[in-house]
Structure formats: C-alpha cells, structure tokens
A = this chain, B = another copy of it.
Amino acid sequence: MILAVNLNASIDKAYTVENFKPGTVTRVKEVIPTAGGKGLNVARVLNSLNQTVSVTGFIGGFSGAFIEQQLKEQKMPFEFIHVNGETRSCINIIDLSSNIHTELLEPGPYISEEELDEFLEFYTSSVKQYDVITLSGSAPRGIDTDIYAKLVSIAKDANKKVILDTSGEYLAKGIQSSPTLAKPNKSEAELLLGRKLKDTGDLASAAKELVGMGPEIVAISLGAEGVMVASGLTKEAYLAVPPKIRPVNTVGCGDAMVAGFATGLSNNWPLTECIKYAVAVSAAAALSPVTGGIVLKEVDNIIGSMDFHNLYLL
C-alpha cells in the first residue's frame, strides 16, 4: 500500500487559444480543467498499475472541492487536510497558431502553523499503514523548505520506504534525511551539484556522489534516455534506456517513473527489476495523451526491448 503526498494541489487548466499576444484581450476557445499536481499524477499511475494508493496534502476552498469531486469521479482514494485558503490554479496556454505553450503557476494558499501541525499529525499516524510513501513537487506558502526532510524522517522512523521527487532547497535539505530513493531529473541533479553532467561517466559519478549525501538509492531521470541509478547497498550504478518510442505527451513521465519505483519497492522486487519497471512505466506514460495516464499494455514490451547496463562503481 502506497501513500502519495501532494502538498501543493492545483486545478490544471489547459487553455486553447489563437494568436496569443501580451497586451491584448484573448478569448479562450476551450478550457479543460483537471485535478493536478505531481503527487496526484503518481497516484493516478499507481491506480492504473493496480496498486493500492491514497493521496494526501492540503486542499482549500471551492477549488479544493472541485479537485475532491474529480478524484471521487475517478475513484481515486484521498485524505486531504482542509485549509482556509483557496487551492491554486495553474494555466497552460496552448496557442494553436504558433504551437507555443505558456504556463502561469499560481502560488497557492498560505498554510498556517496550525494547519501544518494538523497535517504532520495526520501524516505521522497515517504512514504506519503504508509500505511506501512518495513525496512529490513543491509546497504551498508558509511551509519551510525543510518540510520534505521532516516527512522523510517521520516515514523512516516508522520503518517505511520513502521516495523523494522534488527540487531546489526542498531536495537539497530532503536528501540529507536519507530517503530510500531520490529521483532528481538531470537538471535538478546539475543544480544540486553545481556542475553540468555531460556523459554517462558524469551521470554515474553524480548519482554516486548524491548517494553519498544521504539517499540509499539515487535515480537521475533522463527523459527519453531513461535513468541512471546508483545504489549505496549494491555499490553499483545502473543505466536503463528504453527503446525509441513516439512520445504523445511527456508531461508527468517523471511522476510515472516514481510510480514505477514505488510499485517495485512496495512489492520488494530486486533493485534491477524496480529500475526496468520504472523506466517502462515512464515510457508507457509518454505514449498516453493523458497526464498521469499510461498505455498499460506496452509496459512488458518496453521491458523486453530495454537497454540495461550494470556499471561497477566501487
């Protein structure tokens, strides 16, 4: 059983427009609103993979009620802490004339100290019933950047496996609490280490160096190039590259990879099996037009034609 944490929920609105220009008034042709957030994407993929999953975080106001209604319709179990402010919207403006995408991310509500305490209390008692906890994305305002470090520690104190997928300060502080697995993408890993990662050798030593900072396993996701994983337990690095596919929608593929890892860890698979499955689920997500959706029947095919390498590091 898996708990997917999504602190900063959002209504993601896709706006279809034509000839969008700053300084003008644009009538939006179509609006498609969906319950959004990286943790929610993880949970949706886990649902498709037939894993038992619940999603949690903060939710507020009428926008929050809209999200809860959508999750109910999708039969996605959730248990949110209700806060005073309004849950945010994130706008993706898709210009049909130029094919240029423009995003506007609202900051989300301020979370009070009492609301954060309520969440931490819920989380601490809740993690006991799960095998794996996934922590994804940013946090709403009013919450310190050490939040994921705290959430990792609480999960580990309860002897649970925990996957961390965040960025910037949240990631820098979070990995110090030694999550089971940290999944930065390449640019997040570069930001954390303060250098460019140019080739396989760079990536392998980067993953090793990040393991040295705390996590048991570090998986640097590489988009179409798959993933570079280093393990502090096996003292090995692994490079898994999926076959060439025709991607339909690459938004949320990193979240799908987290869902793949969570499935493997929850079922106590060997690490190499976890990695292959995570890469296949991520590639299968690129084949689905729906963010947080996957083309399930392709997972086994992708595993079958994957390029997999063990790299001895130590």
* Chain A residues in the interface with B (C-beta under 8 A): 15, 17, 20-31, 33, 61-63, 65-66, 69, 86, 88-89, 91, 93, 95, 98, 100-107
Residues of chain B contacted by A89 (CB below 8 angstroms): 89
Residues of chain B contacted by A105 (CB below 8 angstroms): 25-28
Cα distance, A88 to B66, chains bound together (Å): 14
Question: Smallest CB–CB gap between A202 and chain B, Å?
Answer: 26
In the complex, the answer to whether B104 meets A26 with C-beta atoms within 8 Å is yes
Q: Among the listed B17, B66, B88, B100, which residue makes an inter-chain contact with A104, where contact means beta carbons less than 8 Å apart?
A: B17
Cα distance, A62 to B67, chains bound together (Å): 10
In the complex, the answer to whether B104 meets A15 with C-beta atoms within 8 Å is yes
Residues of chain B contacted by A22 (CB below 8 angstroms): 20-22, 93, 95, 98, 100, 102
In the complex, the answer to whether A28 meets B104 with C-beta atoms within 8 Å is yes
Q: Among the listed B33, B65, B107, which residue makes an inter-chain contact with A30, where contact means beta carbons less than 8 Å apart?
A: B107
In the complex, the answer to whether B61 meets A23 with C-beta atoms within 8 Å is no
Q: Among the listed B17, B27, B62, which residue makes an inter-chain contact with A65, where contact means beta carbons less than 8 Å apart?
A: B62
**Which single residue of chain B is at the shortest CB-CB distance from A65?**
B62
The 6 A-B pairs at the shortest CB distance, nearest first, are namely A62-B62, A62-B66, A25-B103, A22-B102, A23-B100, A28-B106
